[in-house]
């Protein structure tokens, strides 16, 4: 395994995903290298925000409470935060969190340009490590979107340097970070609240594989409810939108789960 981890580049990348998608892989790879299906999302601000239509689906999958606080745990570049904020009632406030200072600047700019002043006033930008936020925010948020850092294969295929540097170790490293983020998000979610875990990866280990760990650890407090998506494909825990069968949208994996009350005596 260690020897394979050192093998990289386009050939290794294609071998890895051909093993997953088999005869579908050539068409999927071609679609990943093609034009994305983007839309201009009008949230009432000075400018509409252009983003992948599958990203709109992911943000809309989040079920919002009537009042309280929401969290977009890894919010940059901002499109999903814009969609969530545009759906908020007057008694909701969104914490749009982004650890990277450079990406956080892009997030702030997107919010300022895309949201009306009245909605923007109810969005707070923070710069914490979302994997550590749970230490002082236990069961604080009524709904959480975790759009986790991922392999982002569409971007890898578009970047020769990233493709040349790819190895099989990369998805495993990302999965460790994803699990830390998801574990923290679950602890921060209020009982009865909705958590949406999303990635733009086509790698099952970063999608259902991460959710399976959550199910194994907290299965007694989880209620899964896959959102409806005409162009999406059902997986064991969620929905996967792939560009070869969605007119170019995606990739986007979306899992929606609700946190139930703790068992008596737990």
Tokens of 69: 């606080």
251 upstream amide cis, omega within 30 of 0: yes
Round to whole Å and give the CA distance between 243 and 125. 31
Residue range 163-186: mean pLDDT, rounded: 97
**78 phi/psi in degrees, rounded to 5:** 125, -10
Residue range 144-149: mean pLDDT, rounded: 98
Supply the pLDDT for residue 137. Answer: 98
Place of tokens 């002082």: 136
Round to whole Å and give the CA distance between 115 and 123. 10
Q: Which among 194, 200, 229, 255 is annotated as catalytic?
A: 200
Instruction: Provide DSSP, 47-84.
Output: SPEEEEHHHHHHHHTSPP-SSEEEEETT-TT-HHHHHH
Percent of the chain as helix, strand, coil, to the nearest 5: 45, 25, 35
Place of tokens 């745990």: 73
Q: How confident is the model at residue 262 (pLDDT cuts 50, 70, 90)?
A: confident
Q: How confident is the model at residue 6 (pLDDT cuts 50, 70, 90)?
A: low
Residue range 5-11: mean pLDDT, rounded: 78
248: left (phi over 0), alpha (psi -120 to 50) or beta: left
Which pairs count as long-range contacts for 27-30, CB under 8 Å and 24+ apart, including other chains? Answer: 27/244, 28/202, 28/242, 28/243, 28/244, 29/157, 30/244
pTM of the model: 0.95
Supply the pLDDT for residue 266. Answer: 40
77 upstream amide cis, omega within 30 of 0: yes
Round to whole Å and give the CA distance between 254 and 47. 27
* Cβ neighbours, 10 Å, residue 42: 12
Would strands 252-259 and 239-241 be described as parallel, antiparallel, or unpaired? antiparallel
Supply the pLDDT for residue 100. Answer: 97
Measured CA to CA in angstroms, residue 194 lies from 38, 60, 189 at distances of: 26, 12, 8
Round to whole Å and give the CA distance between 81 and 73. 10
- Per-residue model confidence as pLDDT tens digits over 192-249: 999 999 999 999 999 999 999 999 999 999 999 999 999 999 999 999 999 999 999 9
**Is residue 200 annotated as part of the catalytic site, yes or no?**
yes
Domain parsing of the chain, residue ranges: 2-259
- Per-residue model confidence as pLDDT tens digits over 66-93: 999 999 999 999 999 999 999 999 999 9
Q: Which CATH architecture has domain 2-259?
A: 3-Layer(aba) Sandwich (3.40)
DSSP-assigned beta bridge partners for residue 39: 51
- Per-residue model confidence as pLDDT tens digits over 25-64: 999 999 999 999 999 999 999 999 999 999 999 999 999 9
- Per-residue model confidence as pLDDT tens digits over 177-207: 999 999 999 999 999 999 999 999 999 999 9
């Amino acid at each position: 395994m260690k020897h394979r981890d050192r093998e990289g580049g386009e050939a290794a990348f294609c071998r890895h995903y051909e093993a997953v998608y088999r005869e579908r892989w050539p068409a999927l790879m071609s679609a990943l290298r093609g034009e994305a299906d983007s839309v201009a999302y009008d949230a009432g601000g000075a400018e509409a925000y252009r983003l992948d239509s599958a990203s709109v689906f992911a943000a809309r999958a989040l079920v919002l409470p009537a009042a309280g606080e929401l969290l977009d745990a890894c919010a940059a570049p901002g499109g999903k935060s814009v969609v969530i904020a545009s759906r908020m009632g007057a008694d909701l406030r969104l914490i749009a969190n982004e650890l990277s200072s450079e990406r956080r600047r892009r997030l702030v700019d997107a919010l300022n340009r895309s949201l009306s002043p009245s909605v923007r006033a109810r969005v707070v930008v923070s710069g914490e490590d979302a994997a550590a936020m749970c230490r002082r925010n236990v069961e604080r948020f009524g709904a959480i979107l975790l759009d986790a850092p991922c392999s982002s294969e569409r971007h890898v295929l578009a970047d020769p340097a990233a493709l040349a540097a790819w190895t099989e170790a990369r998805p495993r490293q990302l999965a460790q970070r994803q699990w830390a983020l998801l574990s923290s998000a679950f602890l921060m979610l209020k009982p009865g609240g909705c958590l949406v875990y999303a990635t733009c990866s086509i790698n099952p280990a970063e999608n259902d594989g991460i959710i399976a760990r959550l199910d194994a650890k907290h299965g007694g407090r989880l209620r899964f409810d896959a959102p409806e998506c005409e162009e999406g494909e059902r997986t064991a825990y969620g929905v996967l939108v792939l560009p070869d069968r969605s007119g170019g949208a995606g990739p986007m994996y979306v899992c929606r789960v609700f946190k139930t009350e703790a068992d008596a005596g737990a």
